[in-house]
Chains A and B, each alone.
Chain A
């Protein structure tokens, strides 16, 4: 489902080259729920950005949903992101001027889906995350947990192969965090969507079936799928 082969990413600082990811090889099977853990600066975010086609590796091979990524032009990656990947961010990243359903429908808009059809699909997705009654509310009228659920609906509305979550509970209190995690786990179980989640929370990570541990740009644990 997801394969990374010898992925490298380095930044050119003055006088020296900083390797942020050093020959990372990783494979994830369809329907897995993985936590990416590691200390600050270990390369978690860079790894997530490369898998999310927001950053380009210096070398190596990347394959998502059986599709090898060959073209890294902004236009090509935008189209692939739209089709293959859903993002959930720590800070929700909802557009404040759009209502809940309009936020959810954004990926469909960039796919060229007509407005009435977009609304229908977006509202069905909102109902799935338990916000059917909040479809016409603005993000400012929603609680943090509700905002993150809108963001999850947006990430899944285009039926992507992969859900990438960067500290999805980082801005939420512990009760709301548990609700959001429960939602992610149930979507993972029911829709079979593959989830990769970066987190600092050891407890949260431990509750995930698989942990991918990074240190100094290398995977030190969990690079291969566990035998089920």
Chain B
């Protein structure tokens, strides 16, 4: 007698059939299936929310370096005593020549002063930058104009957006043409800057500052020499090492230097985030585990209740492999449904976190795919035991069960 049965019949036509049957069975279980999903749902949702908020936090922290990039150092001279401190102009000019990793150096003189316009007054940061700063940072005049090359020693000032607003009274708005008193000198406002998004490496808050020409900065800034630098490094340079080298070259006798480098700041932020991530992953993993046990429980109950069905299937020719496949498919489908719902919930939680933290909402697509995949894996692991016990039932006893 010939065998008209393929060697492994459940491999070809059985997979789509098994899927369809498993789906029908799950739907028939209704509420119980849904309850089993709860653990899987919470587990995947928390993991996905965690991964996504990590992804958004990363984007946000990179935004803090969007204008200047991450190959950038900020150096500030700190006076040791009361006397103002300044950096050597010749040493600054020589930096790109002697240090091959330094591409560009922009020096600023910075200070603070009270500005008065009519009855209004405000405490402003004063900065007198090399002309290249405006280009590098992207400072543009929203009203009036920027400082010209010809007014290196003029009594002209460009105000930051917030500074102009702070000095404007209800009667008189401060804008181009206004005169304001700065450190005893009368400065003419020639322009007002467009608002700038503050970044970590900014030497001053440009929005609440007054920009004056560098030539005669000593009128309002004690010392008047450069006391802050922005150093652009070659992309990929080791910014910590470069900071140490530059620091050794420039440290003045009468003070010290503080060096901020973007890469170290990012690394610190990420290290803090990693602690939180590990904690959230642990919570998610525990929920998933609980969910997996829930799926196993539902599947075991299902095997118990469907003994007669199992016996009948065995009697009509279902091999142990086909029975295992059926119950394993149900477990995986059940878990994956929880994983898909968990992905959606996780995306929702990420959105809530983003709006709560004032971040821009952004989904990493791979995290959404992760939900069903991880949950399906859980179903595979936790569905194995119920599937094996279904396939091991003795058909005679199974047919007799009530």
Contact = CB atoms under 8 A, between A and B. Distances in A.
A154 B316 CA distance: 9
A115 B314 contact: no
A67 interface: yes
B191 to A, nearest CB: 77
A143 B306 CA distance: 22
Interface string B372-402: 0000000000000000000100011001000
A210 B236 CA distance: 95
A49 B316 CA distance: 13
A109 B13 CA distance: 8
Contacts of A95: 309, 312
Contacts of B24: 97
A115 B28 CA distance: 22
A107 B319 CA distance: 11
Contacts of A67: 1
Contacts of B12: 112
From B1, B10, B16, B28, residue with most partner A Cβ within 10 Å: B1
Given A78-B320, A78-B322, A106-B312, 15 more contacts: A74-B320, A75-B319, A75-B320, A79-B317, A82-B317, A83-B4, A93-B308, A93-B311, A93-B315, A95-B312, A97-B24, A110-B319, A112-B14, A113-B13, A115-B16
Nearest to B9: A112
Given A82-B5, A83-B5, A109-B14, A89 B317 contact: no
A112 B309 CA distance: 19
Interface in B316-357: 316-322
Interface string A60-101: 000001110000001100110111000101000101010000
Contacts of A79: 3, 5, 317, 319
Contacts of A75: 319-321
A106 B5 contact: no
Nearest to A164: B315
**Interface of B (DSSP majority class):** helix
Q: What 10 pairs across the A-B complex have the smallest Cβ distances?
A: A82-B317, A112-B9, A110-B317, A78-B319, A107-B316, A93-B312, A75-B319, A112-B13, A74-B320, A106-B316
B319 A83 contact: no
B59 to A, nearest CB: 49
A81 B312 CA distance: 11
A93 B395 CA distance: 13
A54 interface: yes
A87 B319 contact: no
Contact of A106 (B308, B311, B313, B395): B313
B358 interface: no
B315 to A, nearest CB: 5
Interface in B296-316: 308-309, 311-316
B28 A97 contact: yes
Interface in A169-190: none
Interface residues of B, number: 33
Interface residues of A, number: 30
Interface string A29-63: 00000000000000000000100101100000000
A111 interface: yes
B30 to A, nearest CB: 12
Contacts of A74: 314, 319-320, 391
B254 interface: no
Interface string B1-25: 1011110011011101100000011
B164 to A, nearest CB: 75
A114 interface: yes
Contacts of A49: 396
Given A79-B5, A82-B5, A97-B25, A110 B318 contact: yes
Nearest to B319: A78
A85 to B, nearest CB: 8
Contacts of B6: 112
Contacts of A65: 1
A106 to B, nearest CB: 5
B315 A81 contact: yes
A65 B9 CA distance: 22
Contacts of A66: 1
Nearest to A67: B1
A28 to B, nearest CB: 17
A227 to B, nearest CB: 27
A108 to B, nearest CB: 9
A54 B315 contact: yes
Name the residue in B25, B28, B316, B391 with the highest tally of chain A Cβ atoms < 10 Å from its Cβ: B316
A212 B9 CA distance: 37
Contacts of B3: 79, 83
Given A93-B308, A97-B28, A115-B13, A87 B316 contact: yes
Contacts of B311: 93
Given A79-B5, A82-B317, A54 B396 contact: yes
Contacts of B5: 79, 82-83, 111-112
Contacts of B322: 78, 110
A115 B17 contact: yes
B80 to A, nearest CB: 85
A154 B4 CA distance: 18
B159 to A, nearest CB: 77
A202 B157 CA distance: 118
A89 B399 contact: yes
A20 to B, nearest CB: 12
A67 B322 CA distance: 24
8 contacts: A74-B391, A75-B320, A79-B5, A93-B312, A110-B9, A110-B313, A110-B322, A111-B4
